[in-house]
Chain A
């Protein structure tokens, strides 16, 4: 029987999504619903000298106005949930509504609740706030300098933490190195821009004391826990529902002040409250990504062996420590400094810095794209310095395929890999040598072609629990599933993870349907409601298939084992004499003596004839705690032509060879790669959140922030190698972030390669035409 595992069937969630039949948070309507809006700071850093809400309270339709002083004693401040070890993390109080000081443009100072959204909006304009502006900067390096404006009294010098990663002896390696290269690299702030902005709807039942919060969450169980803490409610009285969620890319991991305040207002007023973010608000207050200023050095031998990597990084956190923020530039960044290579000596010092920007947290890849980018840029710069082809330098430094599991200098152990195979495939798809010849010819005609190669690894599917504790993550990293078989044989699977566009309603059903010999239609995947799903930790970090999928598999296996025992009983045979064939348990050699899964489901659920000691019913739950992370990898190659008269970059080809282990649904894998690559190309060529000298966001709308459009993007050629992971029963890794992790460096490497005849070594992304042109002018000026 053909398996569904490995089959690129269409996504079952798509018809409802593309025909307008999906229910998002903003679609939730309740009797007596009121609407919240926030008064937000126009200053990046200021003392609040007075707030007057009288006029707003009297405005038509206004139900209530809350200020920071109204709520500060009733709510626990917003917590930070990731405290990496040995870095002395300082988390200053983060009030839901600022009452003494605002620390970034968009920091909320008051909440208006009214009968209609328009009335709430009008009343927002009537709240008068007097500010005394203070010095401000959104630049993490500047904010870390002596004399910079101080954001928090509890955090001298704005330094939230200094975290070090070290392995081998970097100092000695650099001292004795034949070749050393260095580069200052800026990894700009990005705006995650999920298609659906955030929203929350809260309803509080005063009779039962039960709070229901619908919200745009990637991890409803984490929302439940942190909301219960902040609202001082017992956790079992909080129900969080993440209905359809229109993308997150990390921005819907954190638990935000506005979501908690929506719940607080519903509890206080005894009426349901809805808050829906608009895009301008989204760009101001929903977390941003990246924001690193890095000083990177690499050393090695003249024959191309890389012996050391050293970094000093300023990572901007924004005005407050968001939920997972401290773990991003540390655990998810510094620990993968070895990349795909055997770099024996590594030393990195990461400064987490509070700035007057919007809080920064996980954005697709979260720390790993920043690591892949700095490594892969430096490999190219190193290759240029020693005059060796960058493909050859990569080959000489790969962890050999027969050395896995392999422990790198930073102390983590890669599960499996075959890096050269992926590179060979990508190089073959391009026709690398032919392209180099074409490039040579084009250069003689005054045309600038370039090729960029990246061999990345990433870390995802984190676990086990001891590791979560060791890295300071304030929760578990297992996942869970309940497989419940109905009397008619239909199956519902309740999972703790919370997919929001990735396709697990399809892929997880494929896993279960295969186990039971079913068509995929017989299996439904239920997620996103803490009242009917087992404890889970959410969908982020490319973890859901490796960890959650394994829980689903294990629960389905448990159910099948019980069905087997029941079948043996009903067939009056020994279990050992049964075989699973054509979707049935049958007595070996007697195909007429067989029980199909649906019949066994009925018999188990009516319990008319159970074996002695067997409970009725047919369901099982499983919690899967992986023994290690998984480490997807691959090689991407980008070719470009640069118009040196205008600085415009045209991508000629984009080739992505990714290895995410076994693939449940290759079409969905390709979709994830496409989306990831496009976000990385956006990062490489056009996306940047710009703050001015007063930390005002200048790219606060889509008129100024260049989200990639389909018409701007190249065709993406995908291919795969398959190296199963040994750490989970499915042999899978993750693929949600791979594209983003690889592609920014591939594009920038290509452009810098194209411009190498001009002596250009590095340009900071995004490589907008203006920046490329400026670099060309500078290079020409230096030459003449």
Chain B
């Protein structure tokens, strides 16, 4: 479990990090390293240089953003779990962060690292999709730009980020009176989702007025379902939710592995959707 030889630079500023990444030499950004280092140890990733951004305060913390929050990409999960502003404005992010892996991982692993890594079974991408988050990206060449989460995840471990770009901030607008819930069924070994669903629901009295549902763990990459419109106008009719979820998964090529055969994974995704929508609905009414 020894990686190939590599250089290591601890960036003193975002600007320095961007300069290093602009070299185009295959340098990799490291923050918590909980995904990158194992891949390097297996020699699946052989990078000539690591640029460490984990000590850059400008990439950390949770701030007010309109009626929502701005989260620094290098904020460790552990800092999200108890963050009061996040708990008030966007509690689902804190809740999901609390359920990721174990304390050691949450102390090191960062939200931005996970999103940029785009593991098809990680939890946060589904949350970002359901909440319609935006990502701020910076590079030496291209300056700053904003990318919507919806469209960011392009394949397993593939995103809309360009060479030399760094994810700096996650922006989540105000949720108003909408509420979200995340339900996942995890591998007993890795803790990664076999199937996970994040649902964001708005309601007018007992009736659902707005809904966004995103899946993770089931396909090549987390995705936003386009099939839940029929749920709007119902009082959280779970038969309709089930039909919408089944439809959302119909076109998805679901793989089987040692943790879950494909048919079981498909079934679990439907169950997760029903339970997530139900919980979000209840929370929105509370």
Contacts and interface: CB of A to CB of B under 8 A. Distances in A.
Nearest to B43: A125
A278 B1 contact: yes
Contacts of B190: 702-704
Given A646-B268, A705-B189, A117 B2 contact: yes
Contacts of A645: 271
B188 A768 contact: yes
A139 to B, nearest CB: 16
Contact of A704 (B5, B258, B264): B258
A122 B4 contact: yes
Interface residues of A, number: 31
A711 B188 CA distance: 11
Interface string B178-200: 00000001011110100000000
B271 A774 contact: no
A690 B271 contact: no
Nearest to A772: B264
B19 to A, nearest CB: 29
A770 B258 CA distance: 10
Contacts of B261: 770, 774
B87 interface: no
A251 B257 CA distance: 28
Contacts of A705: 189
Interface in B145-196: 185, 187-190, 192
B268 A704 contact: no
A704 B259 contact: yes
| Chain A contact residues, majority secondary structure | loop
Given A118-B2, A699-B258, A704-B258, A773 B189 contact: no
Contact of A686 (B1, B42, B188): B188
Most buried by B among A646, A698, A699, A709: A646
A709 B187 CA distance: 12
B84 interface: no
A769 B188 CA distance: 10
B215 to A, nearest CB: 16
Interface string B247-277: 0000000000111110010011001000000
A280 B188 CA distance: 18
A703 to B, nearest CB: 4
Given A117-B2, A121-B2, A646 B185 contact: yes
A706 B268 contact: no
B159 to A, nearest CB: 22
A748 B257 CA distance: 23
B189 A707 contact: yes
A712 interface: yes
Contacts of A121: 2
Given A279-B1, A646-B185, A768-B188, A774 B258 contact: no
Interface in A66-124: 117-118, 121-122
B197 to A, nearest CB: 13
Most buried by A among B190, B192, B259: B259
Contacts of A685: 188
Interface residues of B, number: 21
Most buried by A among B5, B42, B267: B267
Contacts of B5: 118, 122
Contacts of A773: 264, 267
Interface string B38-55: 000010000000000000
A709 B186 CA distance: 13
A685 B187 CA distance: 12
Given A769-B185, A770-B264, A280 B258 contact: no
Nearest to A766: B188
Contacts of B260: 769-770
B126 to A, nearest CB: 18
Interface string A677-705: 00000000110101000000011001111
Given A645-B271, A774-B261, A280 B189 contact: no
Most buried by A among B1, B185, B189, B260: B189
A774 B264 CA distance: 8
Nearest to B264: A770
A679 to B, nearest CB: 14
Nearest to B187: A706
Interface in B200-223: none
Contacts of B258: 688, 690, 698-699, 704
B2 A703 contact: no
Contacts of A117: 2
Contacts of B192: 703
Given A118-B5, A280-B1, A770-B261, A706 B267 contact: no
Nearest to B4: A122
B189 A702 contact: yes
Contacts of B42: 280
B165 to A, nearest CB: 28
A707 B267 CA distance: 25
A690 B2 CA distance: 25
A112 to B, nearest CB: 12
Interface string B1-43: 1101100000000000000000000000000000000000010
B238 to A, nearest CB: 12
A645 B264 CA distance: 11
A709 B188 CA distance: 9
B188 A712 contact: yes
A106 to B, nearest CB: 15
Contacts of A646: 185, 268, 271
Contacts of A768: 188, 259
A278 B257 CA distance: 24
A706 B42 CA distance: 19
Contacts of A279: 1
B230 to A, nearest CB: 22
Contacts of A699: 189, 258
Interface string A647-688: 110000000000000000000000000000000000001101
A770 B2 contact: no
B262 to A, nearest CB: 10
Nearest to B256: A770
Question: Which 4 A/B pairs are nearest by Cβ-Cβ distance?
Answer: A706-B189, A706-B188, A278-B1, A686-B188
Interface of A: 117-118, 121-122, 278-280, 645-648, 685-686, 688, 690, 698-699, 702-707, 709, 711-712, 768-770, 773-774
7 contacts: A690-B258, A702-B189, A703-B187, A703-B189, A707-B189, A711-B102, A769-B260
Given A645-B271, A647-B264, A686-B188, 4 more contacts: A685-B188, A688-B258, A768-B188, A770-B260
